[in-house]
Structure 1
Amino acid sequence: MKAQNGKAGVLREADAGTTRAASSPPWERLVAALGVVLIVAMIGSMVYFALTHERSVPAITIETEPPRPAGQSHVVRFRAVNGTGTTAAALHIRGELRQGDTVVETSEATLDYLPGDSERFGGLFFRHDPARYELRVFPVGYNEP
């Protein structure tokens, strides 16, 4: 008889455990409901932003530093600033050394990624001394990521 009572006691404890797990405390249900509300709100805000956000074009400005010797060439470091919230990928920058209307030399660089409202740095190499010519550095094109 002892063996049967022991088994019956084990069964009763297992049954009691499943009924406890089925009814969770109110604070657990409150936390779960809060999680569902937060997830639905995040998804809703992302959908709203995607449907209503107006795409603009990046507003790129280039600022240069004075040229420096770099081996047998000269380097002009630049800072590209994106003044809008739109990202530019593969931003192509061109520098020209000019003498009047004549382009003496060109140099090009590509910035892989320029996020909105940010800045990145780069450099352009020239064989001729940029200090002896008019230097123009400007963005040429970009890709949308």
Structure 2
Amino acid sequence: KSETERVICTKREVYRLTVIVMSLSVEEAHSIYDELVTRNMEQFNSGNVEVMAAMYEPQGVLVDKKNNKCSFGRDEIKIALEPYTKLGKMDFQTPKREVIPLRDDSFFVRIDYRTTVIDSGLVLTGTIEQIFTKTNGEWLISYETYLEK
């Protein structure tokens, strides 16, 4: 086969594989995400950085776009999340969000958020992009970027 024929053939195989693998619907992804937001906010509001880091895969990635910092793995993610434990409990709102299924075991989320620190009234706003992956039966964040405004 010529190089062009191989590329066309490969594209067909990739497309066919994508159709077979993608079984998570948009509605299912939204429903899963709603449950995860509730769970993750409970973990975040615990004030325990160990519990907070458990939201991420062991080799997860957290990118702080505002400060150009990247954390790899739960140990580094704990360090990145530590300052938030000092703020106190938060009310997390997502006035705008997009949830896109990637496969049956992963989905992408892009949200605009508005978080209010309950005790102080401090309001944090920004954008978060996340990839959630089902690992050993549990939905965890494998990749997250955030830009706090």
Q: By the TM > 0.5 criterion, same fold?
A: no
Question: Shorter-chain TM-score category?
Answer: 0.3 to 0.5
* TM-score, length of structure 2 as denominator length: 0.34
Which structure has the greater CA radius of gyration?
1
